[in-house]
Amino acid sequence: MRAVSAVPFYQGAFGKEQAERLLWRAGFGAREGEAEALAQRGLTAAVQSLTRPASQTLVGPDPTDEKGRALQPSTIPGHDHLWWLDRMVRTTAPAVERMTLVWHSWFATSNLGVQSQQLMLNQNELFRQNALGSFGDILNGVTVDPAMLVWLNGNQNVKSHPNENYGREMMELFTLGANRGAYTETDVRENARALTGWRGSVSAGQPFIYDPNQHDTGTKTIFGQSGNFDYHDSCRLCLAHPLHPSYFVLKLWSYFIPVRYDATTLHALTQMYANGNQILPVVEAILTHPLFYEGPRMVKPPVVFNAGLLRMRGEYVNNSVWSSLGQQAGQQLFYPPDVGGWDYTRWLNSATYRSRWFIAALVQGAGKPTDSPTDPSKLWQRSIQFWGFPTVSAQTQALVEAFAKAQLKRGNDPADVETAMRRLIGSSPDLQTA
């Protein structure tokens, strides 16, 4: 057996700034003092404390709407978004919740087509239960998941009229990638035949079941292999395809690091993943890779930004507006834009940034600070303390202090200036990226 190549490992300093990046990219930000405490563990232990959590519970008050009423995520529009945002805020296992978000975008399913919040919540739990386990378990589970069956017409895929929608996306988006020479149109058609037999309907209230009478029992040929294949075989053949491991690594990497890996990294990660299709070791290797800490910053997805600010302030979900702000910022949970999921490279524009400003403003709250000093540097210290002392650049500090100085010189109320400074910090490039 060939020895598995070693994945490059970060050897630099692991202090507060590096721990903050880890907490933001593998979770939902750092509460006050959390990054400093994590840095004391050292890189390996810090990563494993996230990827192998001691508990997976929710801590803090249950979420409500603005009238104090309990959420109804399976029935009230927008409450599904609030319900998941709450989990991101209160979880003791942020990396598990973050990976659940990754799989939601990877196997992007939208309630716009499903029309059942309960089915979407059920799919969400499928991703959570397998978040850092076997990719094969996720693929097999989602292939016959009722929300996915509706979304990509698997419930209309019968032997007399095969529907290729899921069979195609299974190869193109979920396991192999387009334009890589991994499959042919014949493979897609034959794969669709293997996936036949499932039925059910949300609108008609019909349960989602496997109907053997609707399954094509004929011989199919996929990737040059022939047999009386069913959906288990379809998943197995895609996972066993020689181009699957490299596609898995490429796609998973992109959620955590915004620049491409080198050939050594690709080879080592591919070998690691091919040995059992396990997610955990690949995620841990990415989170300890030099490019994770030495590479450029990444823009935080809107819901990660939202959850992180709430965590930083020790606030909780108690307002329905978070759902509409998430939509306006470009990420309404359970409603990805299409089957390709969200584009993690294009979060910011003039419209979505405005919504992020409102997110920071709402977290900051309507109340004005009291006893605000008239010294810009002291106002800065109070404002950065408000957010739990996150790491920000010297340029950000200089610009915000210059803003304060100018506003005070114009005679503006120091409390109003401090409020504005809090919002400027909360929506600054330093907190928009990690």
Q: What digits encode the pLDDT tens for the residues 248-299?
A: 999 999 999 999 999 999 999 999 999 999 999 999 999 999 999 999 999 9
C-alpha 322, offset from chain centre? 17
How many percent of the chain have pLDDT more than 90?
Answer: 97
Computed on alpha carbons and rounded to an integer, the radius of gyration of the chain in Å comes to 24
Q: Describe the crossing of helices 79-90 and 321-329 by its angle, rounded to 10 degrees.
A: 90
From residue 271, how far is each of 5, 45, 278, 283 by CA, in Å? 7, 23, 11, 14
Confidence of residue 366 (pLDDT cuts 50, 70, 90): confident
Q: What digits encode the pLDDT tens for the residues 179-188?
A: 999 999 999 9
pLDDT at residue 128 greater than cutoff 90: yes
Confidence of residue 110 (pLDDT cuts 50, 70, 90): very high
Nearest by Cα to 220 from 211, 230, 210: 230
- pTM here is 0.96
Q: Are 14 and 42 in contact (CB under 8 A)?
A: yes
Which residue carries 């919504």 as its tokens?
355
pLDDT at residue 1 greater than cutoff 50: no
pLDDT of residue 367: 85
Confidence of residue 4 (pLDDT cuts 50, 70, 90): low
List the single range of 17-31, 285-299, 360-374 with lowest mean pLDDT. 360-374
Count how many residues are written for the chain.
434
**Residues 6 or more apart whose Cβ sits within 8 Å of residue 33:** 388
How many percent of the chain have pLDDT more than 70?
Answer: 99
* Mean pLDDT score, 291-319: 97
State how far the Cα of 382 lies from the Cα of 315, in Å rounded to an integer. 18
pLDDT of residue 184: 98
Degrees (nearest 5) of the Cα angle 201, 202, 204? Answer: 65
C-alpha torsion angle, residues 69, 72, 77, 80 (rounded to 10): 110
44 torsion bin: left (phi>0), alpha (psi -120 to 50), beta (else): alpha
Nearest by Cα to 281 from 37, 47, 32: 47
* Mean pLDDT score, 150-171: 97
State how far the Cα of 421 lies from the Cα of 401, in Å rounded to an integer. 8
Three-state SS sequence of the chain: CCCCCCCCCCCCCCCHHHHHHHHHHCCCCCCCCHHHHHHCCCHHHHHHHHHCCCCCCECCCCCECCCCCECCCCCCCCHHHHHHHHHHHHECCHHHHHHHHHHHHHCCCCHHHHCCHHHHHHHHHHHHHCCCCEHHHHHHHHHCCHHHHHHCCHHHCECCECCCHHHHHHHHHHHCCCCCCCCCHHHHHHHHHHCCCEEEECCCCEEEEECHHHCCCCCEEECCEEECCCHHHHHHHHHHCCCHHHHHHHHHHHCCCCCCCCHHHHHHHHHHHHCCCECHHHHHHHHCCHHHHHCCCCECCHHHHHHHHHHHHCCCCCCCHHHHHHHHHCCCCCCCCCCCCCCCCCCCCHHHHHHHHHHHHHHHCCCCCCCCCCCHHHHHHHHHHHCCCCCCCHHHHHHHHHHHHHHHHCCCCHHHHHHHHHHHHHCCHHHHEC
* Mean pLDDT score, 310-323: 97
Structure tokens at 422: 């809090």
Q: What digits encode the pLDDT tens for the residues 380-420?
A: 999 999 999 999 999 999 999 999 999 999 999 999 999 99
Q: What digits encode the pLDDT tens for the residues 31-79?
A: 999 999 999 999 999 999 999 999 999 999 999 999 999 999 999 999 9
Confidence of residue 21 (pLDDT cuts 50, 70, 90): very high
pLDDT of residue 288: 98
Confidence of residue 127 (pLDDT cuts 50, 70, 90): very high
From residue 420, how far is each of 340, 361, 404, 407 by CA, in Å? 38, 9, 9, 10
C-alpha torsion angle, residues 89, 91, 94, 99 (rounded to 10): -100
